[in-house]
């Protein structure tokens, strides 16, 4: 009797297991489960639109700030700039702006600076605490002046990234980029960091400048910044999902 029951139980279990993978690839099922991201985005904007990420003390700083993603860009343009100590590096601000900008590292350092010791949460599960310094993105956006229709701030990077075996899923190489909405763009803790723990950014951590958008996961903290584009749509960039990892199935809104 028990044996027959076990058999009866094992049969649907086997079908279920092989069926589950098929279900994750079904477009309708995908659309339904992806609605969870919209729910999370709206919920977090409702309960914590202006919330500040926790700031830590110098004693909490992690002994090593783990380098993840690109360790050193192979892009010759970036390598030329790095060889010159980034003296010729310019951050371009373009798109739906009243005035296009081209900012040197010295220009960024002349703006009012913000320093913050925050926790970096990787989508893989680990966290590291570091102290970042740089101008608030809001200062730069105000200097450029946003035109009507501006909805997203897109960050174009210098590195071509090939993926990450530990994450599994889709793996393909392309230019790294990221984007945020205007709420996060104008958030006081959103800065363009040129220093980590009072040292200029290392190559692994995104020299010369990386984005810090402290209420989202690590993959939003775009490194090796080259250009900022103010846009009304994410469709023209990369795979159209607003970022290197979002193009590979990860949430665009990574406050999760």
> Judged by CB, which is closer to another protein: 40, or 113?
40
**Near another protein in 104-123, by CB under 8 A:** 119, 121-123
> Judged by CB, which is closer to another protein: 59, or 106?
59
Q: Please report whether residue 37 would count as binding another protein according to CB under 8 A.
A: yes
Tokens for 172? 């393909």
Residue with tokens 């960091």: 193
Residue with tokens 């609605």: 35
Q: Please report whether residue 48 would count as binding another protein according to CB under 8 A.
A: yes
Return the ∠ at Cα 60 (arms to 55 and 64), rounded to 5°.
Answer: 115
Question: Could you say which of 34, 77, 88, 100 contacts another protein (CB under 8 A)?
Answer: 34
> Judged by CB, which is closer to another protein: 93, or 247?
247
Report yes or no: 255 and 216 within 8 Å, Cβ to Cβ.
Answer: yes
**C-alpha–C-alpha distance, residues 159 and 206, integer Å:** 9
Q: How far is the CB of 137 from another protein (least distance, A)?
A: 16
Return the ∠ at Cα 56 (arms to 54 and 62), rounded to 5°.
Answer: 120
Strands 195-196 and 127-135: antiparallel
Interior/surface letters 42-72, b for 16+ CB within 10 angstroms, e for the rest: eebeeeeeeeebeebeeeeeeeebeebbbee
Report yes or no: 164 and 172 within 8 Å, Cβ to Cβ.
Answer: no
Q: Please report whether residue 27 would count as binding another protein according to CB under 8 A.
A: no
Q: Pick the piece of the chain touching another protein (CB under 8 A) from 15-23, 84-92, 101-109, 151-159.
A: 15-23
Q: Pick the piece of the chain touching another protein (CB under 8 A) from 19-27, 74-82, 94-102, 233-241.
A: 19-27
Question: Could you say which of 83, 125, 148, 173 contacts another protein (CB under 8 A)?
Answer: 125
15 three-state secondary structure: helix
Q: Pick the piece of the chain touching another protein (CB under 8 A) from 49-57, 82-90, 103-111, 155-163.
A: 49-57
User: 245: which strand partners?
Assistant: none
Q: How far is the CB of 10 from another protein (least distance, A)?
A: 12
Question: Could you say which of 10, 15, 36, 80 contacts another protein (CB under 8 A)?
Answer: 36
Backbone angles phi, psi at 223, to 5 degrees: -100, 170
**C-alpha–C-alpha distance, residues 181 and 178, integer Å:** 11
Q: Please report whether residue 35 would count as binding another protein according to CB under 8 A.
A: yes
Question: If binding means CB under 8 A, how many residues of this protein chain bind another protein?
Answer: 55
Q: Please report whether residue 4 would count as binding another protein according to CB under 8 A.
A: no
Residues found near another protein in the complex (CB under 8 A): 5, 17, 20-21, 24, 30, 32-37, 39-40, 44, 47-48, 51-54, 56, 60, 62-66, 119, 121-129, 166-170, 214-217, 245, 248-251, 254-256
């Amino acid at each position: 009797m028990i044996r027959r029951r076990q058999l009866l139980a094992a049969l649907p279990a086997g079908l279920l297991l092989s069926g589950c993978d098929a279900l994750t690839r079904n477009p309708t099922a995908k659309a339904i489960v992806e609605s969870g991201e919209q729910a999370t985005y709206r919920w977090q904007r409702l309960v914590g639109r202006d919330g500040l990420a926790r700031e830590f003390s110098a004693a909490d700083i992690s002994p090593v700030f783990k380098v993840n993603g690109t360790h050193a860009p192979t892009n010759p343009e970036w390598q030329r700039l790095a060889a010159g100590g980034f003296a010729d590096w310019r951050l371009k601000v373009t798109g739906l702006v009243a005035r296009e900008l081209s900012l040197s590292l010295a220009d960024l350092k002349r703006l009012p600076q913000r320093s913050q010791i925050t926790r970096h949460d990787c989508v893989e599960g680990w966290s590291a605490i570091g102290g970042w310094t740089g101008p608030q993105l809001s200062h730069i956006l105000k200097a450029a002046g946003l035109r009507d229709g501006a909805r997203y701030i897109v960050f174009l990077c210098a590195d071509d990234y090939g993926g990450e075996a530990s994450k599994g899923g889709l793996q393909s190489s392309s230019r790294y980029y990221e984007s945020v909405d205007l709420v996060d763009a104008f958030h006081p803790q959103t800065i363009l960091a040129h220093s980590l723990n009072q040292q200029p950014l290392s190559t692994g951590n995104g020299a010369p400048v990386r984005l810090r958008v402290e209420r989202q996961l690590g993959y939003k903290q775009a490194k090796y910044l080259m250009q900022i584009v103010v846009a009304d749509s994410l469709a023209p960039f990369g795979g159209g999902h607003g970022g290197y990892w979002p193009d590979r199935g990860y949430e665009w809104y990574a406050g999760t």
